[in-house]
């Protein structure tokens, strides 16, 4: 009996040690940004920590963790391994998680999530237990993107509809004269020849104008009114800092003790 008790106590201690060494951090936004929540123990209901259905990215600092879409580890679950998951959307779990526990506490049939990034992409995300401070923003400059160019192709006439065509007029006059010469006789033939030449010239000059077109590429440029980024200056502990941000800041931005931006 004593042996069984010792074995059970040793096993329990082993599980507790393993659980204490494991740690996982959830982030409200993708890319490890926004509000963060860290735990090293099971959480049956994320409502208790104000994080229900809010997680969009995760960093597993150590251990293996089972995350589930319902409280009390119900619904769809997956196992997250040590590494960084920049987006839970690929697993269909974005803003869906409600409970978490280390798999060291039990065996699980939940499948493993896709292979995570081995090295966390910290960027501006807040590290676990990292203190942050508010630094006053001193200047903001919106940097606009490149101007927008819109182009199209339209068909236009090379000459106006009533503009005479000298080449076709000459050819029409010759053909008209030949035809007119074959009509009537004597003076009438001469008049017909002249009349045919004049008429042929007019018709020839006007013919073909409708088909003299070409395709022309036209473009118009409009300024881009959407900023590509914001160039932000702020002060922290008497030193001036600058950073480029994807969105406009407020009166202050969050920084760590070294003055580096944090979200």
**Domain span holding position 239:** 135-146+225-255
Residue 76 belongs to domain with CATH number: 2.60.20.10
Task: Tell me the angle at which helices 186-206 and 166-181 cross, rounded to the nearest 10 degrees.
Answer: 150
SS (H, E, C) 104-133: HHCCCCCCECCCCECCCCCCCCCCCCCCCE
How far is the C-alpha of 21 from the C-alpha of 59, rounded, in Å?
15
Tell whether 140 and 239 lie within a shared domain: yes
Pairing of strands 33-39, 74-80: unpaired
Determine how β-strand 23-29 pairs with β-strand 33-39. antiparallel
* Residue 89 sits in the same domain as residue 23: yes
Assigned domain for 118 exists: no
Q: Assess whether 211 and 235 both reside in one domain.
A: no
Query: How many domains, the chain?
Result: 3
Domain co-membership, 243 together with 178: no
236 and 187 belong to one structural domain = no
d(CA 144, CA 166): 54
pLDDT by residue for the chain (263 residues), tens digit each?
A: 444 444 344 444 444 434 445 799 998 988 777 788 899 999 999 999 999 999 998 989 888 999 999 999 999 999 999 888 888 887 889 999 999 999 876 677 888 888 887 655 556 777 767 899 999 999 999 888 767 778 888 888 876 555 555 555 554 554 445 444 555 555 544 444 444 444 444 445 555 555 578 888 888 888 877 787 888 999 999 999 998 887 888 999 999 999 988 87
Q: Quick one: tokens of 90?
A: 């690929």
What is the CA 191 to chain-centroid distance, rounded?
78
Say if 263 falls within a structural domain. Answer: no
Residue 59 is assigned to a structural domain of this protein: yes
Buried residues in 12-31 as b, exposed as e (16+ CB within 10 A): eeeeeebbeebbbbbbbbeb
CA distances from 135 to 69, 111, 250, 251, 258 (A): 37, 44, 10, 9, 11
Tokens 């118009």 locate to 220
Q: Are residues 70 and 93 located together in one domain of the fold?
A: yes
């Amino acid at each position: 009996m004593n042996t069984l008790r010792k074995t059970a106590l040793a096993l329990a201690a082993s599980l507790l040690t393993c659980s204490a060494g494991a740690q996982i951090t959830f982030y409200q936004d993708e890319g490890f940004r926004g509000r963060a929540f860290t735990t090293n123990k099971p959480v049956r209901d994320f409502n208790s920590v104000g994080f229900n259905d809010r997680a969009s990215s995760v960093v597993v600092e150590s251990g293996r963790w089972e995350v589930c879409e319902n409280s009390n580890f119900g619904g769809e679950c997956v196992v997250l391994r040590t590494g960084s998951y920049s987006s839970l959307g690929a697993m269909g779990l974005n803003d869906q998680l409600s409970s978490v526990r280390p798999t060291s506490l039990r065996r699980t049939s939940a499948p493993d999530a896709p292979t995570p990034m081995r090295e966390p992409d910290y960027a501006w995300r807040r590290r676990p237990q990292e203190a942050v401070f508010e630094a006053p923003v001193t200047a903001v400059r919106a940097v606009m993107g490149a101007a927008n160019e819109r182009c199209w192709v339209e068909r236009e006439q090379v000459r106006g509809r009533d503009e005479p065509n000298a080449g076709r007029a000459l050819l029409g006059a010759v053909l008209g004269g030949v035809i007119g010469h074959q009509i009537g006789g004597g003076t009438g033939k001469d008049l017909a020849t002249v009349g045919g030449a004049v008429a042929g010239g007019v018709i020839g000059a006007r013919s073909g104008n409708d088909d003299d077109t070409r395709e022309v590429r036209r473009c118009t440029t409009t300024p881009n009114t959407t900023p590509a980024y914001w160039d932000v200056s702020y002060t922290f502990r008497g030193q001036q800092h600058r950073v480029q941000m994807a969105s406009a800041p407020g009166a202050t931005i969050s920084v760590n003790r070294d003055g580096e931006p944090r979200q």
